[in-house]
Amino acid sequence: MRLPALNALRPFVTGNHQNRLLLAAALCLLIGAGQLALAASAQDPDIEHLNQLVAASRYEEAFNYSKQLMKEHEGEPEFDFLYGLTALEMGKPNEAVFALERITFTYPDQMRVKLELARAYYQINNFQAARKMFNDVLATNPTENVKANIRIFLDLIEDKENNLAGNFDFFVSTNIGSDSNINSATALGIIAIPGFGNVTLSTNGTNISDNFNDLGAGVIYNKPFSKTSGLTLTGNINQHNNLSSNEFDLDVLAADATYSDIYGNTRMSYGIKDQLVNLNSDPFQDSRSFIVAMQRSPGDGWSQGLTGAYTQVRYDDGLNKNANLRDVNQTLLSGVLGKAIGKFSHTFSIYYGDEQSARVGGENYAQKFYGLGFSEQYQLNSTNVPYFHIAMHHSNNKGADVFFNFDREDKTFSTSVGWMWLMNSNINVTTDLSYTNNSSNIPLYEYDRVKVQTGLRYQF
């Protein structure tokens, strides 16, 4: 990749002691980082003219001109770099982040870009990301004046973090689609049950196809305690409405609190989560979880994660007096290994779970289960990310089924393909097609399911 060479920048407007300090630091960063930047491309006259405007500190003209070029050149690293710089100068750090992140995703070794992205993160108070970018540049052993001035920024980040109030983010989402089997039920109309003979299933006992829509909203609150630790609180609600069969409509309300701390390249998180589920507007299920997670990013595109969770699952017995026989206490251990190579991102996951019945007589509802999955993403360009996922799940019930009088064993295969379109830094659109096949040693529990959906999420 070739990045434009610039003469000088004015990253901050001076007016007080701290701003003058930041100005001096940013200018030294730029001068010292010259060895990291590459010569400007002279192949495109539009990019060359934009480079000249920025080099002449004509930022307002450059920003307006870059808006004219965006449709044709967005996603090209030379353009994204210049556009990110002009957005910074015009007091639009969120736009700068969106442009510069596109470059660092594809070209993670461009330290000059990371310096500018770190400044943008600093201006939007994303201090954790800014610190990472600055430390990435420090790890390359730049010139001494660059090191000194990066440390000025790191000290300022620490001071701000120690005095920073919490911040809120909100999101809304909507989803529409079609589901061939909204109740995950068998297609068989008659089942042979030992001791009963052939039994005709009710309408709700066989698969039902329907169209659906989802409406969701949520809030995220982040409160940093130090440069490495903080608290995150989230709450969200989602309504899944089947257009013709409301017996299987779902309302899900969830809230969680997570404390995290960073040790070098490892993040440790400790959280609690509560989730309420209503089925057709009636109370159905309540679950409470305690979660411990470790995430590690050693570099070179690798990432690892390990999560342990303990969950109490309880079923409401308001409509069915025996519903609480399904209550279980679940222990789950999962691991994730990821690797980014160029525009590809590969993720492999594996998990194991064990459940204990919380009620006498409910042992047949408790399971041991395990599974694995593989996901693939491809950064087609700056705004389009196709993806693919495949998974296998195996479960064994711990007690004999009450009707069939032997232990149930299921094997589930699922796969999905989709496309994510990043309209801008706040809006993304996702289209997804999925297929699920569940095979069982009890025919009543065998089913196939095909679902297609398109959704939009807006974060503000």
Q: What is the pLDDT of residue 368?
A: 98
Residue 416 has pLDDT above 80, yes or no: yes
- Chosen domain end from 125, 142, 163: 163
Average pLDDT over residues 44-69: 90
Domain that holds residue 56: 17-163
CB atoms within 10 A of CB 437: 14
Q: Which CATH number belongs to the domain containing residue 39 in this structure?
A: 1.25.40.10
Verify that 450 and 393 share a domain, yes or no. yes
- With respect to residue 11, please indicate whether it lies within any of the assigned structural domains: no
Distances (CA, A) of 40 to 31, 104, 412: 16, 18, 54
- With respect to residue 22, please indicate whether it lies within any of the assigned structural domains: yes
CB 54 within 8 A of CB 6: yes
Q: What is the pLDDT of residue 37?
A: 36
CB 104 within 8 A of CB 117: yes
Kindly give the pairing relationship between strand 447-459 and strand 427-440.
antiparallel
Name the more confident of 33 and 105: 105
Torsion of Cα atoms, 45 then 47 then 52 then 54, to 10°: 160
Q: What is the pLDDT of residue 163?
A: 67
For the stretch 121-159, pLDDT in tens is 998 888 889 999 999 899 888 888 888 889 998 988 888
- With respect to residue 45, please indicate whether it lies within any of the assigned structural domains: yes
Verify that 179 and 157 share a domain, yes or no. no
Verify that 77 and 186 share a domain, yes or no. no
Verify that 159 and 216 share a domain, yes or no. no
CB 188 within 8 A of CB 443: yes
- With respect to residue 290, please indicate whether it lies within any of the assigned structural domains: yes
- Chosen domain end from 163, 178, 197: 163
Q: What amino acid occupies position 140?
A: T
- With respect to residue 150, please indicate whether it lies within any of the assigned structural domains: yes
Distances (CA, A) of 59 to 49, 69, 355: 12, 15, 61
Verify that 54 and 203 share a domain, yes or no. no
Verify that 279 and 155 share a domain, yes or no. no
For the stretch 89-126, pLDDT in tens is 999 999 999 899 989 888 888 888 999 999 999 988 88
- With respect to residue 214, please indicate whether it lies within any of the assigned structural domains: yes
Verify that 150 and 180 share a domain, yes or no. no
Verify that 125 and 202 share a domain, yes or no. no
Q: Structure pTM? A: 0.67
Between CA 216 and CA 250 the distance in angstroms is: 12
Q: What is the pLDDT of residue 319?
A: 65
Q: Which CATH number belongs to the domain containing residue 378 in this structure?
A: 2.40.160.60
Domain count, the chain: 2
Verify that 128 and 222 share a domain, yes or no. no
Verify that 289 and 186 share a domain, yes or no. yes
Instruction: Give percent above pLDDT 70 in the chain.
Output: 88
Verify that 140 and 192 share a domain, yes or no. no
Name the more confident of 382 and 294: 294
Residue 64 has pLDDT above 50, yes or no: yes
Q: What is the pLDDT of residue 15?
A: 34
Backbone CA torsion sign across 310, 438, 347, 94: negative
Residue 362 has pLDDT above 50, yes or no: yes
Q: What is the pLDDT of residue 109?
A: 83
- With respect to residue 329, please indicate whether it lies within any of the assigned structural domains: yes
Lowest mean pLDDT among 70-74, 168-172, 312-316, 319-323: 319-323
Verify that 137 and 205 share a domain, yes or no. no
For the stretch 189-214, pLDDT in tens is 787 777 666 777 777 778 999 999 99
CA angle 338, 341, 345 (to 5 degrees): 45
Going by pLDDT thresholds of 50, 70 and 90, the confidence category of residue 224 is: confident
Residue 14 has pLDDT above 80, yes or no: no
* 3-state SS track over the chain: CCCCCCCCCCCCCCCCHHHHHHHHHHHHHHHHHHHHCCCCCCCCHHHHHHHHHHHCCCHHHHHHHHHHHHHHHCCCHHHHHHHHHHHHHCCCHHHHHHHHHHHHHHCCCCHHHHHHHHHHHHHCCCHHHHHHHHHHHHCCCCCHHHHHHHHHHHHHHHHHHHHCCCEEEEEEEEEEEEECCCCCCECCCEEEECCCEEEECCHHHECCCEEEEEEEEEEEEEEECCCCEEEEEEEEEEEEEECCCHHHCEEEEEEEEEEEEEECCEEEEEEEEEEEEEECCEEEEEEEEEEEEEEEEEECCEEEEEEEEEEEEEECCCCCCCHHHHCEEEEEEEEEEEEEECCEEEEEEEEEEEEEECCCCCHHHCEEEEEEEEEEEECCCCCEEEEEEEEEEEEEEEEECCCCCCEEEEEEEEEEEEEEEECCCCEEEEEEEEEEEEEECCHHHCEEEEEEEEEEEEEC
- Chosen domain end from 111, 130, 163: 163
- With respect to residue 181, please indicate whether it lies within any of the assigned structural domains: yes
Q: What is the pLDDT of residue 74?
A: 87
Between CA 251 and CA 216 the distance in angstroms is: 10
